[in-house]
């Protein structure tokens, strides 16, 4: 049996909205961990593919940047993110979340109390129907069960502008918050599987190649062994009394590992739903306001246009806009 997990983020660069870090964890029965992780795209190829334009209408699982559509398209830009994520999520649970709040609760991503995230729930699905998503989930469950594959967990952490700004005051970098969240998710996977040996893939954190010090700090009770540190992969084994865990930091992990791709999709959809709430809050007060994805250039345009609203409502800018 192999415990095979991936962790990835979305929203590292924008000035508005949260940094989201997702994780997915699969159990593969009959797999020999010594052989390394199998290609889940190949094992699930009857219902899963990489490209959203698949003629067989299989579920696209890939880096979220490749699956999110343009806002000016005919269908919802998050259609493929939602389609793959909902099917995977419902292969683990019988019920499908029917709102953004229900999805956040399922993923462990608590919505903060800032006023721009308030208002009524956003109904799900964003595209398609519950019946269509249910059929896709049933097909995926059948193929996964036949292959001895099960999704054991799908989670997401959110780091908001106020947290990033407060950390900057303490001379802590945003990259440190990102890595800390990733390692908390890895710890959750380890605790979910005591006595097993999870393999966790984390997307490479910028240009960093060595992570031994950070791992030792996060897990002071573990013995950390370097298995290899190269330009592409930095791999470590951590031994605990309950059993070991192997953590690999890999460049372009979403291209090589389906769990990392699914984690990327999870983080991206959670961020997009947060941004939908933020845009809704301000557009109700300025109906002509164009929505923003929160990236720096357009984020500055957006903040200039909503400045009168922020002044009127006395909104705290350090809770809305990242300073770094």
Give 33's pLDDT tier (boundaries 50, 70, 90).
Answer: confident
Query: Within 10 A of 103 (CB to CB), how many other CB atoms are there?
Result: 24
Ramachandran assignment for 230, one of left (phi > 0), alpha (psi -120 to 50 degrees), beta (any other): beta
Please provide the average confidence, as pLDDT, over all residues in the chain. Answer: 93
User: Residues 172-207, buried b or exposed e (16+ Cβ, 10 A)?
Assistant: eebeebbbbbbbebbebbbebbeebbbbbbbbbbee
Lowest mean pLDDT among 65-74, 155-164, 174-183, 190-199: 65-74
Residue 324 exposed, middle or buried by CB count within 10 Å (0-12, 13-18, 19+) = exposed
Sign of CA pseudo-dihedral 86, 91, 92, 98: positive
All domains of the chain, ordered by start, with CATH? 2-320 (3.30.420.10)
Closest CA to 3 of 201, 161, 293, 202: 201
Q: Average pLDDT in the 52-60 region?
A: 91
Give 246's pLDDT tier (boundaries 50, 70, 90).
Answer: very high
Does position 206 have pLDDT exceeding 90, yes or no?
A: no
Does position 169 have pLDDT exceeding 80, yes or no?
A: yes
Which pLDDT value is given to residue 209?
86
Which pLDDT value is given to residue 115?
96
Q: What is the pLDDT of residues 209-228, one digit of tens each?
A: 899 999 999 999 899 999 99
Does position 204 have pLDDT exceeding 90, yes or no?
A: no
Q: Average pLDDT in the 120-134 region?
A: 93
Q: Average pLDDT in the 238-259 region?
A: 94
- pTM for this predicted structure: 0.95
Does position 34 have pLDDT exceeding 80, yes or no?
A: no
Q: What is the pLDDT of residues 90-104, one digit of tens each?
A: 887 778 899 999 999
Q: Which of residues 110 and 292 earns the better pLDDT score?
A: 292
Give 208's pLDDT tier (boundaries 50, 70, 90).
Answer: confident
Residues 6+ apart with CB under 8 A from 276: 100, 122
Does position 298 have pLDDT exceeding 90, yes or no?
A: yes
Residues 6+ apart with CB under 8 A from 62: 50, 51, 52, 254, 261, 265
Which pLDDT value is given to residue 124?
96
CA dist., res. 192 & res. 187, Å (int): 9
């Amino acid at each position: 049996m192999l415990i095979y997990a991936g962790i990835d983020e979305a929203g590292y660069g924008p000035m508005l909205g949260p940094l989201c870090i997702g994780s997915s964890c699969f159990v593969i029965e009959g797999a020999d961990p010594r052989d390394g992780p199998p290609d889940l795209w190949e094992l699930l190829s009857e219902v899963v593919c990489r490209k959203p334009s698949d003629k067989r209408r299989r579920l696209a699982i890939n880096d979220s940047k490749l699956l999110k559509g343009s806002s000016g398209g005919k269908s919802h830009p998050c259609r493929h993110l939602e389609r793959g994520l909902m099917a995977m999520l419902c292969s683990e649970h019988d019920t499908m979340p029917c709102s953004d709040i229900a999805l956040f609760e399922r993923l462990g991503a608590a919505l903060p109390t800032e006023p721009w995230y308030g208002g009524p729930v956003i109904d799900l699905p964003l595209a398609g129907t519950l019946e269509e998503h249910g059929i896709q989930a049933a097909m995926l469950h059948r193929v996964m069960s036949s292959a001895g594959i099960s999704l054991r967990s799908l989670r997401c952490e959110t780091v908001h502008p106020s947290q990033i700004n407060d950390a900057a005051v303490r001379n802590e970098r945003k990259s440190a918050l990102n890595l800390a969240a990733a390692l908390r998710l890895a710890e959750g996977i380890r605790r979910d599987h005591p006595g097993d040996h999870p393999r966790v893939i984390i997307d490479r954190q910028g240009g960093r190649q060595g992570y031994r010090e950070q791992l030792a700090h996060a897990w002071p009770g573990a013995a950390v062994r370097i298995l290899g540190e190269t330009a592409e992969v930095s791999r470590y084994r951590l031994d605990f009394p309950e059993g070991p865990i192997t953590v690999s930091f890999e460049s372009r992990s979403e291209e090589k590992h389906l769990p990392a791709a699914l984690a990327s999709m999870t983080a991206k959809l959670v961020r997009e739903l947060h941004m939908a709430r933020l845009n809704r809050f301000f557009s109700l007060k300025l109906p002509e306001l164009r929505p923003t994805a929160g990236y720096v250039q357009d984020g500055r345009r957006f903040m200039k246009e909503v400045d009168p609203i922020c002044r009127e409502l006395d909104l705290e800018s350090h809770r809305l806009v990242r300073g770094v």
